[in-house]
Copies of this chain bind each other. A is one copy, B any other.
Amino acid sequence: MREDHQDAVQRVDAARLWKRHMDMAQIGAIPGNGVNRAAFSAEDIRARHLLVSWARARNFSVSMDTIGNLFVRRPGLESDAPPVMSGSHMDSQPRGGRFDGMYGVLAALEALEAIDEAGVKTRRSIELVAWSNEEGGRFAPCTMGSAVYTGARSLDEIISVTDNEGIVLKDALAQTLAALPDARARAFNAPAAAYVEAHIEQGPLLEMQGKTVGVVTGIQGLRWFNIEVSGKTDHAGTTPLALRKDAFRAAVDIINALRELTHDPADVLRFTVGRVLVTPNSPNSVASHVLFSVDIRHPDVATIRGLGEAVEPLARKAAGVCEVKVTPTLHDDPCVFDTDVVNTIEQAANTLAVPNMRLPSGASHDANYMARVCPTGMIFVPCEKGVSHNEAENAKPEDLAAGARVLTATLLDLANR
């Protein structure tokens, strides 16, 4: 590593990074160390103001696009070259934690500051981005800012959605944009050289393996289905089993078959039945109808496609005398991150002697959309017991700093190519 890069990495300040998390955590604080910071809310605007104040203190330039994505730029020597971008989101789940999203924003800011303090000149500009409304807890769909920015969704298609109180996104967004009148206008989908997102893992693997940094290889693919089983209700005392059309029994048969289908000794595949609705749901009545959800995830595209295609025929076969309706409700192929970016992150971690491992992301992220438009990677840091989307979400200051150091080294490398 170049000496000036080493200097920059060493200027990553664990205490400053932690304090900024704690300052941000006061905005929308809820009991139990949690955060409720809905997208385009007063709290979201306060978080934006705080981020901008830190950026302006460094004379970094601030811009914003029309979906409210906020950009903080440290210019490079070649101001016209596509920048290297890094960031995440500042909104939270209604009962969210202090690190989900916010870490990626503050780690990018920490990198910019460390690089600035070290006086390193980069060829490309480095740009922090705080994506709007990643969580989707107030206005659906989630990952809204990155989806609109990258052109995966149009602003028109989502501008009229309302929150639970009837507030239209258009109005909440307008308030947010108006609250930052000094931010320069920014176009969607400006060319980027690379995008690197830091994030808490939201899973237990790093903690279990004793690793400080996860080199994320991609985002696993996902198939969601609703499976509806229709039978016939009967008196539980009088109807022999052979004469029943027991929808719950058939549902269990289908679930058993899906468990066989998805059995994975390597424990990479994720299979979850999380939602089950039984009708009439009475102890002495055979179920006439059952609806259950199926969630299957895997990082390999051929595997997830094969599994996805197997669900319906398998459910039909296992349903026996009952009828079955299989409705796909969500369909994402795996996202495989750019080999160069992944290798760069891994090399940075190894150079800095930060214990690391490769792993796919179990959850989706804004990086999923950025990967469609530029070379992309992610850096994970451990979170306590893998808990997120919960007030109890927690992370260690030294892990957050280690991740920020790997991010700094990675951004410097990418910005000088």
Residues on A facing B (Cβ under 8 Å) = 201-205, 208, 220, 222, 224, 234-243, 246, 248-249, 252, 255-256, 259, 264, 267-278, 280-287, 293, 295, 297, 329, 361-364, 386, 388-389
B256 adjacent to A273 (CB under 8 Å): no
A203 — nearest CB in chain B belongs to which residue?
Answer: B238
B278 adjacent to A202 (CB under 8 Å): no
Given contacts A222-B237, A235-B202, contact A278 B281 (CB under 8 A): no
Sample (21) of A-B pairs whose CB atoms are under 8 Å apart: A204-B239, A205-B240, A208-B243, A220-B237, A222-B237, A224-B283, A235-B386, A236-B270, A236-B272, A238-B362, A238-B386, A239-B386, A248-B274, A249-B273, A252-B252, A252-B255, A272-B284, A274-B280, A274-B283, A275-B278, A276-B276
Given contacts A275-B281, A283-B224, contact A267 B246 (CB under 8 A): no
When chains A and B are docked, how far (Å) is the Cα of A80 from the Cα of B330?
Answer: 78
A276 — nearest CB in chain B belongs to which residue?
Answer: B278
| Copies of the chain in the assembly | 2
B273 adjacent to A248 (CB under 8 Å): yes
A237 adjacent to B283 (CB under 8 Å): no
Given contacts A205-B240, A241-B267, A267-B242, contact A274 B286 (CB under 8 A): yes
When chains A and B are docked, how far (Å) is the Cα of A7 from the Cα of B287?
Answer: 48
List of B residues within 8 angstroms of A202 by Cβ: 235, 238
When chains A and B are docked, how far (Å) is the Cα of A361 from the Cα of B388?
Answer: 53
A256 adjacent to B252 (CB under 8 Å): yes
B283 adjacent to A240 (CB under 8 Å): no
Given contacts A242-B267, A256-B252, contact A237 B297 (CB under 8 A): yes
List of B residues within 8 angstroms of A272 by Cβ: 236, 246, 283-286
A290 — nearest CB in chain B belongs to which residue?
Answer: B276
List of B residues within 8 angstroms of A234 by Cβ: 386
When chains A and B are docked, how far (Å) is the Cα of A293 from the Cα of B285?
Answer: 11
A204 — nearest CB in chain B belongs to which residue?
Answer: B243
List of B residues within 8 angstroms of A222 by Cβ: 237
When chains A and B are docked, how far (Å) is the Cα of A412 from the Cα of B405?
Answer: 98
When chains A and B are docked, how far (Å) is the Cα of A295 from the Cα of B239?
Answer: 13
Given contacts A240-B205, A241-B267, A283-B224, contact A389 B274 (CB under 8 A): no
Given contacts A240-B267, A252-B252, A252-B255, contact A203 B274 (CB under 8 A): no
Say which residue of B203, B281, B329, B389 sits within 8 Å of A276 (CB atoms). B281
List of B residues within 8 angstroms of A238 by Cβ: 201-204, 361-363, 386, 388
List of B residues within 8 angstroms of A281 by Cβ: 274-277
A364 — nearest CB in chain B belongs to which residue?
Answer: B237
A273 — nearest CB in chain B belongs to which residue?
Answer: B248
A226 — nearest CB in chain B belongs to which residue?
Answer: B283
When chains A and B are docked, how far (Å) is the Cα of A268 from the Cα of B275?
Answer: 32
- Rounded to whole Å, the gap between the CB of A193 and the closest CB of chain B is 29
When chains A and B are docked, how far (Å) is the Cα of A234 from the Cα of B267?
Answer: 16
List of B residues within 8 angstroms of A240 by Cβ: 203-205, 267-268, 270
- Rounded to whole Å, the gap between the CB of A256 and the closest CB of chain B is 7
When chains A and B are docked, how far (Å) is the Cα of A240 from the Cα of B202?
Answer: 12
When chains A and B are docked, how far (Å) is the Cα of A45 from the Cα of B281?
Answer: 33
- Rounded to whole Å, the gap between the CB of A199 and the closest CB of chain B is 11
A224 — nearest CB in chain B belongs to which residue?
Answer: B283
A248 adjacent to B270 (CB under 8 Å): no
When chains A and B are docked, how far (Å) is the Cα of A295 from the Cα of B248?
Answer: 14
List of B residues within 8 angstroms of A286 by Cβ: 272, 274
- Beyond A240-B270, A274-B281, A274-B283, 8 extra complex contacts between A and B, CB < 8 Å: A203-B238, A203-B240, A208-B243, A242-B267, A248-B276, A252-B252, A252-B273, A277-B281
